[in-house]
Amino acid sequence: NGPIEGLTVTVDLDQKKIVKFSNTGRGIPIPKSSNTDYRYTAQVKPPELKPLNPISMEQPKGPSFIVEDGHVVKWSNWVFHLKADQRAGMVISRATVQDSETGELRSVMYKGFSSELFVPYMDPDEHWYFKTYLDGGEYGLGATSLSLVPLNDCPRYSYYMDGVFVTSDGKPFVQSNIICLFERYSADISWRHSEIPINGFQIKEARPKVTLVARMTASVGNYDYIFDWEFQTDGLIRIKVGLSGMLMVKGTPHENTNQGFDEDDISGPLVSENAIGVVHDHFITFHLDMDIDGVNNSFVEVNLVKKETSKGESPRKSYLKAKRRIAKTEKDAQIKLKLYDPSEFHVINPSSRSRLGNPAGYKVVPGANAASLLAHDDPPQLRGAFTNNQIWTTPYNRTEQWAGGLFVYQSKGDDTLAVWSERNRPIENQDIVLWYTMGFHHIPCQEDFPVMPTVSSSFDLKPVNFFQSNPILRAAPTFEDDLPVCQPSAS
């Protein structure tokens, strides 16, 4: 059923007493439960879609990865440690990739995980204003993970991993099968080039892309979050978050927008009879302790600057030039993304050079994103001040792992990434941590109800002058004889 709108009970948990009872929702009906059961077995209408034939990636020789000691993953040119964490959900550590020339394993990242997840709802009403959640620190992304659904959450040939956590009284408990590891092939192309035929001679070269995915889902109350870390053979790491689950809805007397429904007076669109989908944001901040060929790293902003030609210099009027700036201190590396002031953001090792003299590095490549628009002195934004920038860089400090602070419950924002970074510590040629915040603005719609189709965003960690040349140049193509011959079963 829907919410009992306007009813809030305040409880003193220490004294176990009700200290306030507020009921301002008289006249607001409880939304009906009809057409809200999303389970397959509860559907009484025939499916809207013609069913697709079953599809699966077959691996007749099994997957190409191995997991040693339960946590060390080895696949293609990658080796990394994978574990479940009660607060962060999934942690990737000691990620190394094989050099395509020497064959040695080279360090890329010491530790990476989702540090905090901030979800403020946009309603100042007395029953809603406090709904500004810090899901990592208040609930735990691992603690709210449930067993994955084979063939639906994860494909065939997946490897499943448990989480071993601790209860409030100190006893261990096991969340089974909350991480899955699998290879993905979705007909993407790893690289290709064709030459236009000249004198009957033609070159056509293409390579299929197969990747390795580590996945975890967190069901934090109404919302489900799908976290993917995807490793590519060219050294790229793609970090992706998908949002699904159920909207948090607010009860309303309205059943239709024609019935005196004033958009200025409500906090979101009508998504069902007597139910408003309240506008809200999602921000996921990642802690990325990069160790490019060691711990001495620097943050570099490569800004694209427009230059204009002088009279008579060229038929061109303007062009772009790349201008590098090494960040000396933390404030030099506080980045707000701007479409019309584009930059690349590199983490380099100034003492590890290619044969051409370029420093080895990785760059963070933003995907679709959103910035927090709340006032900086708004209490929830003080607690979520780590979303004031999309990128931060701090010197490594073992006490600075959680962007919202170590103790988040009832915090006031005095122990956040924004507070630490105000010290403006030196970060050049140091052991540094890169922080990246991914954001979503969510204006709900009817299609999001009763359970929403997944909405995703991602960002990449991509090698820049890390390899001497294309590291998958010598990857073998696939031929028809390499593949199994599948015959249809007898009817």
Least confident of 79-93, 195-209, 395-409: 195-209
**What amino acid occupies position 5?**
E
pLDDT class of 168 with cuts at 50, 70, 90: confident
Which domains, ranges and CATH numbers included, belong to the chain? 31-295+327-336+354-482 (2.70.98.20)
Per-residue model confidence (pLDDT) at position 466: 98
Percent of the chain at pLDDT exceeding 70:
99
Query: How many angstroms separate the first and last alpha carbons of the chain?
Result: 45
How would DSSP label each residue in 411-461?
Answer: --SSSSHHHHHTT--B-TTB-EEEEEEEEEEE---GGGSSSEEEEEEEEEE
Least confident of 39-53, 68-82, 335-349: 39-53
Per-residue model confidence (pLDDT) at position 198: 82
The catalytic residue positions are 135, 223
**What amino acid occupies position 120?**
P
Quick count: other Cβ atoms within 10 Å of Cβ 275? 25
For 131-142, what is the mean pLDDT?
Answer: 97
Facing residues of 391 across strands?
Answer: 335, 436
Least confident of 1-5, 24-28, 158-162, 271-275: 1-5
pLDDT, tens only, 311-334: 999 999 999 999 999 999 999 999
pLDDT, tens only, 419-463: 999 999 999 999 999 999 999 999 999 999 999 999 999 999 999
Indicate if the pLDDT at residue 251 is higher than 90: yes
Per-residue model confidence (pLDDT) at position 222: 94
Nearest to 180 by CA among 142, 144, 224, 148: 148
pLDDT, tens only, 261-312: 777 778 999 999 999 999 999 999 999 999 999 999 999 999 999 999 999 9
> Is residue 165 helix, strand or coil?
strand
For 144-162, what is the mean pLDDT?
Answer: 96
Indicate if the pLDDT at residue 136 is higher than 90: yes
pTM assigned to the model: 0.94
> Is residue 311 helix, strand or coil?
coil
pLDDT, tens only, 363-395: 999 999 999 999 999 999 999 999 999 999 999
Per-residue model confidence (pLDDT) at position 489: 63
Answer yes or no: are the C-beta atoms of 231 and 78 closer than 8 Å.
yes
Per-residue model confidence (pLDDT) at position 488: 65
For the chain, helix (H) and strand (E) counts, in that order, are 3, 26
Pairing verdict, β 432-442 and 275-277: unpaired
| Most distant CA pair in the chain, distance | 89
Per-residue model confidence (pLDDT) at position 1: 59
- Average pLDDT taken over every residue of the chain: 94
Quick count: other Cβ atoms within 10 Å of Cβ 114? 26
pLDDT, tens only, 349-358: 999 999 999 9
Indicate if the pLDDT at residue 48 is higher than 80: no
Per-residue model confidence (pLDDT) at position 162: 97
Indicate if the pLDDT at residue 491 is higher than 60: no
pLDDT class of 60 with cuts at 50, 70, 90: confident
pLDDT class of 89 with cuts at 50, 70, 90: very high
CA pair distance 116, 137, nearest whole angstrom? 7
> Is residue 385 helix, strand or coil?
helix
pLDDT, tens only, 217-238: 999 999 999 999 999 999 999 9
Indicate if the pLDDT at residue 41 is higher than 80: no
Most confident of 201-205, 253-257, 271-275, 399-403: 399-403
